[in-house]
Structure 1
Amino acid sequence: MIDILNINGRVALVTGGGTGIGFGIAQSFAAAGATVVITGRREDVLQEAVAQIGNGARYYVQDISKQTELPAFVERLEKEVGPIDILVNNAGQHLKKFMRDTTDQEFLALLQVHLLSVFSLSREVANRMSARKRGSILLISSMSAVMGMTQVVAYTTAKTALIGLMRAMMAEYSADNVRVNAIAPGWIESDMMFKAINADEQRKNKIMSRIPFNRFGKPKDIGNAALFLASDAAEYITGVFLPIDGGAAGGF
């Protein structure tokens, strides 16, 4: 049964794979035999990440929010590395502000990174997967798509919209054996998460009180779930929204 999780020889693209959750996913994929490609905006971070990932991991400096560049980026990657078998839309940024203080520009900037660019990149990759009659696409949503939270209106809107995008893609691409699923990480240890909560002790305590496991998750927790959904072990699973949250969504 372990062999069914093997993705040896497959090309996996993980956006925002240099740190945090994306890095954890990239590590899991590489350990399972995939040729992993990570993207990000900071070359020094990417260089350090691929050195730690090993197993032939590669990186491309690419700002995913630049939608007009994405078709050429996908074309280049497939020519230089190979057909993309797995896509993980993970790249993102955070904005902690009450709605009353969030400007139109800030709102749009979050949508650009978390939703609009995901649509564009997924379309380019899914169309190629469709022609090859195989592929797995993962969208990284959030617990903010499950429960209402203050001070994250733009982030919440984008991450909730990803669920609709996932379902629409599932309906359109399943006939071509392209699977599309979404993961909703809970509170997972990362620089972005700690930046968001460390300055707000009350919010941090409230979060911890909601987690039955009484601890934050680790990037590998998301990486292992992503590996399952991307592997043949999940070959009949598509259109799934999977919270990985230590029980937070259902806890009391």
Structure 2
Amino acid sequence: MKAFSLEGKKAVITGGGSGIGLGIAKTFIEAGAQVLLIGRSENKLMEAKKSLGDNCSYKSFDVTDLDKIPSLVLETETNWGHIDILINCAGTHLKKNAIDTTDSEFLGVLNVHLMSVFALTREFAKSMIKRKQGSIILISSMTAVMGMKQVVAYSTAKTAIVGLMRSMVSELAVDNVRINTIAPGWIESPMLHKAIDHDLPRKTKILGRIPSGNFGEPEDIGYAALYLASDAGKYINGVFLPVDGGAAGGF
């Protein structure tokens, strides 16, 4: 099982204070990694740190401050050493019909889910290229596979991530920097419940689409990320991996 170990590895996880990001952090720490959580809410990060223990650190930062990302990466690598794994998991949600979504709202979602992902990946990849080693994981969504109402900005960003991955894989693979994408299904998280708790028809439709009939857990995404980030996945590059309980193929 050594191939699945992350002993001696350092991972940065954006959006790691709750939900899927926190689930990934838990599984990585179980596998022996040191984890740095990045997020906007210092209170959430502090609570996450308490639950995760000594192998967890955190930094409060808004990933939409694109101009500050290069200095964030430089500070991280100066204070923490080289980064082996980057998980782009920061997210926000906008539930609105397309014709009612303003340009600024659309751009705001893209800044979180796409622009920050590109900027962070670009900056952390620079030192990974020099060391000829690194694993980067992007978090997409089932809305990149199937059309859903009221998530036009989110769906656009999560679909664009796949193109971003494929292009960067073609450039970075020669330097042994791998980039893969996980597409979570409907996973128990604050963002999911914000979207469905007051929309029973939507919740019913979603559950009806999942053959197993239940939502996933954050750790389900964590173990998928662990596989892709570890030596067990060293020959996996440019993969789009749904972790969805069969929803993509359900009827």
Aligning the two structures, in what range does the TM-score lie when normalised by the shorter sequence?
over 0.9
Paired position in structure 2 for 1:232: 231
1:50–1:58 contact (8 Å) kept in structure 2: yes
Deviations 1:139-185 (A, max 9, x none): 00000000000000000000000000000111000000000000000
Identity %: 58
Q: Distance in 2 between matches of 1:65 and 1:30?
A: 27
Paired position in structure 2 for 1:94: 93
Q: Distance in 1 between matches of 2:84 and 2:164?
A: 19
Structure 1: which amino acid aligns with 2:101?
A: T
SS in 1 for 2:248: coil
In structure 1, list runs of 5 or more residues that go unmatched. none
Structure 1: which amino acid aligns with 2:68?
A: E
Structure 2: which amino acid aligns with 1:6?
A: S
Q: Distance in 2 between matches of 1:20 and 1:40?
A: 12
Paired position in structure 1 for 2:126: 127
Paired position in structure 1 for 2:160: 161
Q: Distance in 2 between matches of 1:43 and 1:104?
A: 29
- Please state how far the C-alpha of 1:55 moved relative to its aligned partner: 3.9
Paired position in structure 1 for 2:115: 116
Paired position in structure 1 for 2:204: 205
SS in 1 for 2:247: coil
Q: Distance in 1 between matches of 2:3 and 2:54?
A: 19
Residues 1:54 and 2:73 are matched in the alignment? no
Structure 2: which amino acid aligns with 1:93?
A: T
Q: Distance in 2 between matches of 1:83 and 1:129?
A: 8
Paired position in structure 1 for 2:31: 32
Structure 2: which amino acid aligns with 1:178?
A: V
- Please state how far the C-alpha of 1:239 moved relative to its aligned partner: 0.3
Q: Normalising by the residue count of structure 1, what TM-score does the alignment of the two structures yield?
A: 0.99
Paired position in structure 2 for 1:187: 186
1:16–1:91 contact (8 Å) kept in structure 2: yes
Deviations 1:64-87 (A, max 9, x none): 111111111011111111101000
Structure 2: which amino acid aligns with 1:163?
A: V
In structure 2, list runs of 5 or more residues that go unmatched. none
Q: Normalising by the residue count of structure 2, what TM-score does the alignment of the two structures yield?
A: 0.99
